[in-house]
Amino acid sequence: MPGDRSGEHHRVTILGATGSIGRSAADVLGAEPDRFQVEAVVGGHDAGALARVARQLNARFAALADPSRLAELKLELSGSGVMCGAGSCALEEAVARDTDIVIAGISGTAGLRPTHAALRPSRRIALANKESLVCAGRVFMEDARRIGADIYAVDSEHNALDQALAAGSIGDVASAVLTASGGPFRTWSRDRLHKATPEQAAAHPVWSMGAKINIDSATLMNKGLELIEAHHLFGIDSRRLEVLVHPESIVHGLVQWVDGSVTAGLAVPDMRIPIANALRGSRRLTRAGSGLDLAAIGRLTFENVDEDRFPCLRLARSALEAGGAAPTVLNAANEVAVDAFMAGQIGFYGIPALVDTVCSQMSAISEPGSVDEALMIDAEARALSQERLPRIVAAQ
C-alpha cells in the first residue's frame, strides 16, 4: 500500500454514497475524522439520503445524478456549507475534485464510466464496482497502470486474497480460492430450485446487500464475476482460480503455494473491514466492535460447488476462459435475466438459460479496447437478451 502521509488528511470522494458500500464507507470514515477529509459524495436520485451523508461526513461537495432533484438537494443542504450540483456536469466535477482516494461504489454498468474517469495519477481507487473489471478489465487495468492509479478491491474475497498474496509472488501461487457462502439455496435440490421465488432468492443468509447482488449470490453468478475480477486484479489465470462453498463466511480467500503451504484471510462478515483495508496507509485503521472469535464459532465447513445446480458459475468461468467480449456479454445478459426473474417473467433456471443463449450468439465479438466499446457491447448484449427473452419464457 502507499505510505501514510503522517499528520496529513487523506482526501476522499465517495461514488455511490447512498448505497450499501457508501453507508459502510461512511461508518469507517466517520470513525477516523483525524485521518480523512471527505471531498465529495455522489448519489443517484435520493436527495435526502445524499444530504444526510454529506452532513454526516462534513463533505465539501455533493453531486446527484438526477438533475431534476437539484432544488431538493439544495434545500436539504441549506445552512450546511456543503456545495452541491446535479446532472452529468456535477458528477464530472465531483470526480475531478482534488482527492487522494476514490471509493467507487456505484453499482452496475452505470458506474463504469465515472469509475474510469476517476483514474488519476497517484490516486487510490477503492473499487466496489464489479463492472469495471468484468466488462472492461484489461483496458481498465492497463489505463490504471499507464495513468499511475492504484486499484484496491472493496470486496471481502479480493481483500483476503490481496493480503494473503503478500506472503509470496504470483509465480509461486498453485491456486487462489475465493469462498462463497452458498446463498439461500445451498442445500436445495435442483427440482426445488425450479420453483424458487425472487423473494426467496433475495434473502441472503449472511450479507446485507441489494436485491440484484443477493440474487447473483443465490445463482453463484456473483462468485463467477468475482473470479473474473480476481484474474484482472492479480494476474492469476483461470486454471489457478477456484471456488469453495463456506457457509460461515469467515475464511474469505485462500492462497495455496507451490510448496504446499496455505495463506488465508479470515474476518467476520462485515464490509467495513475490506473498506478499511482499502483506505489504510502504512497504519491500519482501528475497528470498533468485537473481532473474530474462532472458539465461539467452533467449526468452519467447506464444500465443493455443485455446478449442475448452480450453472452460472460454470458460465462465468467459461466466459473468462473464452476471453474477447465474453465477460462483457455475460454481465449484460445476466442483468437482463435477473431483472426478468425479479419481475416474475422467468424462473430461477431461466437466468442461466438466457445468459448461455446470448453468450453463444455473441461469442465472436472481440474484446473491447476502450470503455466506450465495452458500453457499446453491453448495450448490444442487452438488446439481444431482450429479444431472446420470450423464447426462455415460452420454454418454461
Per-residue pLDDT tens over the stretch 365-390: 999 999 999 999 999 999 999 999 99
Residue 133 has pLDDT above 70, yes or no: yes
Task: Report how many domains make up the chain.
Answer: 3
Position 245 in a domain:
yes
8-22, 61-75, 157-171: which range is least confident on average? Answer: 8-22
Q: How far apart are CA 147 and CA 227, in angstroms?
A: 25
Cβ distance 38 to 12 under 8 Å? Answer: yes
Q: End of a domain among 254, 287, 319?
A: 319
Position 187 in a domain:
yes
Residue 8 has pLDDT above 70, yes or no: no
Position 289 in a domain:
no
35-49, 162-176, 202-216, 272-286: which range is least confident on average? Answer: 202-216
Position 46 in a domain:
yes
Position 280 in a domain:
no
pLDDT band of residue 241 (cuts 50, 70, 90) is very high
Residue 1 has pLDDT above 70, yes or no: no
Q: End of a domain among 154, 170, 198?
A: 154
C-alpha cell at 77: 443542504
Q: What is the mean pLDDT of residues 110-124?
A: 95
Alpha-carbon Rg for the chain, nearest whole angstrom, is 21
Position 182 in a domain:
yes
Indicate the average pLDDT of the chain.
94
Residue 303 has pLDDT above 60, yes or no: yes
Residue 166 has pLDDT above 70, yes or no: yes
pTM for this predicted structure: 0.93
Task: Give which of 190, 179, 330 is closest to 241, Cα–Cα.
Answer: 179
Q: What is the pLDDT of residue 210?
A: 66
Amino acid at 91: L
Q: What is the mean pLDDT of residues 247-258?
A: 97
Distances in Å between the alpha carbon of 251 and those of 67, 232, 279, 323, 335? 43, 22, 21, 29, 28
* Cross-strand pairs, 251: 266
Are 234 and 148 in the same domain? no
Are 104 and 137 in the same domain? yes
Model pLDDT for residues 260-291, shown as the tens digit of each residue: 999 999 999 999 999 999 998 778 888 756 68
Are 103 and 220 in the same domain? no
Q: What is the mean pLDDT of residues 145-165?
A: 95
Q: What is the pLDDT of residue 258?
A: 98
Q: How far apart are CA 50 and CA 17, in angstroms?
A: 7
Are 119 and 95 in the same domain? yes
Q: Which domain holds residue 45?
A: 10-154
Q: What is the pLDDT of residue 325?
A: 98
Share of the chain above pLDDT 70, in %: 95
- Quote helix, strand, coil % in the chain, to nearest 5: 50, 15, 35
Residue 254 has pLDDT above 90, yes or no: yes
pLDDT band of residue 4 (cuts 50, 70, 90) is very low
The CATH number assigned to the domain holding 343 equals: 1.10.1740.10
Q: What is the pLDDT of residue 284?
A: 85
Q: How far apart are CA 105 and CA 115, in angstroms?
A: 9
Residue indicated by cell numbers 438488446: 383
Are 68 and 186 in the same domain? no
Distances in Å between the alpha carbon of 17 and those of 10, 20, 59, 65, 220? 17, 8, 11, 12, 26
Residue 167 has pLDDT above 60, yes or no: yes
Position 109 in a domain:
yes
Are 111 and 22 in the same domain? yes
Are 144 and 209 in the same domain? no
Are 265 and 302 in the same domain? yes
The CATH number assigned to the domain holding 75 equals: 3.40.50.720
Identify the three-state secondary structure at position 358.
Answer: helix
Residue indicated by cell numbers 474475497: 157
Are 90 and 168 in the same domain? no
Are 77 and 144 in the same domain? yes
Model pLDDT for residues 21-48, shown as the tens digit of each residue: 999 999 999 998 889 999 999 999 999 9
1-15, 97-111, 150-164: which range is least confident on average? Answer: 1-15
Residue 142 has pLDDT above 90, yes or no: yes
Q: What is the pLDDT of residue 2?
A: 41
Are 28 and 143 in the same domain? yes
Q: What is the mean pLDDT of residues 53-70?
A: 97
Q: What is the pLDDT of residue 5?
A: 43
Are 92 and 170 in the same domain? no
Position 3 in a domain:
no
Q: What is the pLDDT of residue 281?
A: 73
2-11, 212-221, 331-340: which range is least confident on average? Answer: 2-11
Q: End of a domain among 139, 154, 169?
A: 154
Q: How far apart are CA 394 and CA 272, in angstroms?
A: 44
